[in-house]
Structure 1
């Protein structure tokens, strides 16, 4: 009976039917029928079903079984995977123990054995995360040399992944992307085994997302989806695949589908518990809910993401901004920016920093943030980053009362968003262009841009943005006293009792600019105070 189970388990494993393979091999194990190779198979099946702790334990048992056979090379390899799986699961102390055991086993084998290349990977990863990119590159390069010498596709994949990822962090985007594409070709060709394949897929797509490389992220996510579909009961990597798909759908304006995909990811990553990607899935869900104008649900999701260890910023800060809690939003984005460990992390935060600080009236710091973003964009051939930087610069120029200069960069941003096929950002840019045209005194052009933005927000289901653009798109009445359209807007809001800060937030201006408009209004209309201005607005039917 145990022999039949063992044969069936091996067959299921070869056919990538992981649930079936795990059940049959585990049953054979209970009958005492598993040797070292089959324990390694059972460990792999457990990991691919997200039973990480059990998988690590099984790799540990395989390690001891190989040692008993005198196979120190495979013993060290199993100890390596026992440790690496625990690293991904957060069990760093136990992981270090297994990696040390792998090193000891490797010492008993040949000095040039392939496992010495594997053992370069953990130290290189630690160096990369600590920002010591020189040490990281040295470690990954040494691992690659061993992989080339021994023709080991798994080691080559992990080493090239590390080199490519480190080069991206160093700003060497083209070289890094080329290396990552090379790794992915090997993975999609089936030359790499299952666990490192999943690691490579998710890591490469994660790099594409972090570097705003939407076309590459879309292409490799499609490949990951196909890989997952070939293994229907695969648990890890499938949830992250759904998160990536949701991110791409969101960017391309398919918000209903994006939300459904994010919810599927959350469901998939919740059971079994302890999957580290769950926080990312919940954050993605929160982002979509915020954009759809469902603030209560979004806040609940941001809080849950935080409980799961995922940073809820800058999304939560943008929600606070929509709720009128401008100071809370500003404090949050300043904190996150100060803690951003490297330039790519700062790129993720800086657009929100500019948006929030402009609303908070801190235009000087918003300008510095926009300048940093522009500097980063100038050193990278990345259309997404160039579009973000141009939009941020335009927002600052508009807040400084320089609408003509703002229009020049906003038009460039809009063109880039159009080319990238990102309708939400394109619509936000058109709304900003409408505000800039109005500030420049061109009401017809302002209405055209605002109408276009209103249509796009309606199609997307962006309720909050739609409400804002509808408020902006109300035609300014013909004003007495030579007031500009922007001054009429300011006067109308003064008449409703809003403070300068509230007016600045609503019109996306700085408080200094609002104060200047108010001074011009008092001068043009010969009014002594806000109370007199309020009375004037009512007398002339401006409210």
Structure 2
């Protein structure tokens, strides 16, 4: 029992210090100990939660889901509600990244019911759904009620992302400054990578493409060293935008192709859809008719052409034509990319 508690304490310490490599090593050691102590159901469940988090970071999302579900079953059997909540949260994170938003929302709710704070994941889900104001309020409350630096470091990257979606560059910059200070204090390369990506995103939103590219290249280098393919892909997708703004068309294409390949491999469908939106796009798209906007909102709601035709009392052939026109005017290759445009340019609430 004492050995198991020691393992868990060390792993928690590594996670608080954002030392994921060390957490990985200690989690592997705990897993070996649990295999030799099959009666230690509680510890084996906690071990699976830690492993699920690490697998998610390393891009093994299917395995992470399986581990989180196994952890939930074992921790429920041991009566450990806190660990059950953590297992639900890990499931929710993978589901959100895959675009299974309804399932993710259910899982975040289960995490909350078992005592696990659903932030920042739930706020990021709201932002992905286009509910940016709700996301901003949620992450603001989370930050205002969180004092410890290591806990705030888990919230600040999400805060920067959400604030930039809401065009609040000053607030995003303040959050990034704090993240950089915490990263420097901990000496964590993972936090340094997150801070570099945040700084690059802010520079990009401010029209400072050279500065953005420098920060994003640093972030990509660190994420690659730490075998974090999703975060690497995010950094490269942003770097593609920076290169495009600088006129480096070939470099932009290569960055974007690399990001798309990783998103496809992971099954990160929302990010893949955003990557399909032309990196040069700025401002809001123009040229859609009122009818095309109606059709776009229904497409973004996940409805088929047949269902849209029935709702608008039009023929399916007419809807096919409208969808083709929408894709051409938005310069996107797919319905998923058109959906990303609809949320990005706040078209879901407009007629």
TM-score, scaled to structure 1: 0.52
Does the CA contact (< 8 Å) of 2:57 and 2:229 recur in 1?
Answer: yes
Which secondary structure does the structure 1 equivalent of 2:23 belong to?
helix
Q: CA deviation at 1:276?
A: 2.7
Q: CA deviation at 1:345?
A: 1.0
Figure out how many residues of one structure are paired with residues of the other and give that number: 296
Which secondary structure does the structure 2 equivalent of 1:280 belong to?
helix
Match among 286, 290, 297 for residue 494 of structure 1: 286
| 1:319 is the counterpart of 2:111 | no
Does the CA contact (< 8 Å) of 2:82 and 2:116 recur in 1?
Answer: no
Q: Where does 1:245-324 land on structure 2 (aligned, <5 Å)? A: 245-324=51-130
Q: CA deviation at 1:291?
A: 1.2
Whole-Å Cα distance in 2 between the matches of residues 419 and 373 of structure 1? 20
Whole-Å Cα distance in 2 between the matches of residues 388 and 255 of structure 1? 20
User: Residues 85-142 of structure 1, C-alpha deviation per residue, up to 9 Å, x if partnerless?
Assistant: xxxxxxxxxxxxxxxxxxxxxxxxxxxxxxxxxxxxxxxxxxxxxxxxxxxxxxxxxx
Does the CA contact (< 8 Å) of 1:243 and 1:284 recur in 2?
Answer: yes
Whole-Å Cα distance in 1 between the matches of residues 29 and 278 of structure 2? 43
Whole-Å Cα distance in 2 between the matches of residues 497 and 237 of structure 1? 59
User: Residues 363-418 of structure 1, C-alpha deviation per residue, up to 9 Å, x if partnerless?
Assistant: 10000000111112222322111101100101111111111110011111111111
Task: Name 1:238's counterpart in structure 2.
Answer: 44
Q: CA deviation at 1:274?
A: 4.8
Task: Name 2:191's counterpart in structure 1.
Answer: 385
Does the CA contact (< 8 Å) of 1:318 and 1:329 recur in 2?
Answer: yes
Tell me, which stretches of 5 or more residues in structure 2 are unaligned?
A: 291-325, 332-351
Structure with larger Rg: 1
Whole-Å Cα distance in 1 between the matches of residues 65 and 278 of structure 2? 28
Whole-Å Cα distance in 1 between the matches of residues 223 and 100 of structure 2? 25
- Work out which structure has the larger RCO, using CA pairs closer than 8 Å and 6 or more positions apart in sequence: 2
Whole-Å Cα distance in 2 between the matches of residues 414 and 378 of structure 1? 18
| 1:350 is the counterpart of 2:156 | yes
Whole-Å Cα distance in 2 between the matches of residues 542 and 310 of structure 1? 40
CA-based RMSD of the aligned residues comes to 2.0
Does the CA contact (< 8 Å) of 1:210 and 1:348 recur in 2?
Answer: no
Task: Name 2:343's counterpart in structure 1.
Answer: none
| 1:400 is the counterpart of 2:206 | yes
Whole-Å Cα distance in 2 between the matches of residues 269 and 541 of structure 1? 52
Whole-Å Cα distance in 2 between the matches of residues 442 and 490 of structure 1? 21
Q: CA deviation at 1:238?
A: 1.0
Task: Name 2:4's counterpart in structure 1.
Answer: 198
User: Residues 299-332 of structure 1, C-alpha deviation per residue, up to 9 Å, x if partnerless?
Assistant: 0000011111110000000011110000000001
Task: Name 1:371's counterpart in structure 2.
Answer: 177
Q: Where does 1:34-433 land on structure 2 (aligned, <5 Å)? A: 194=1, 196-433=2-239
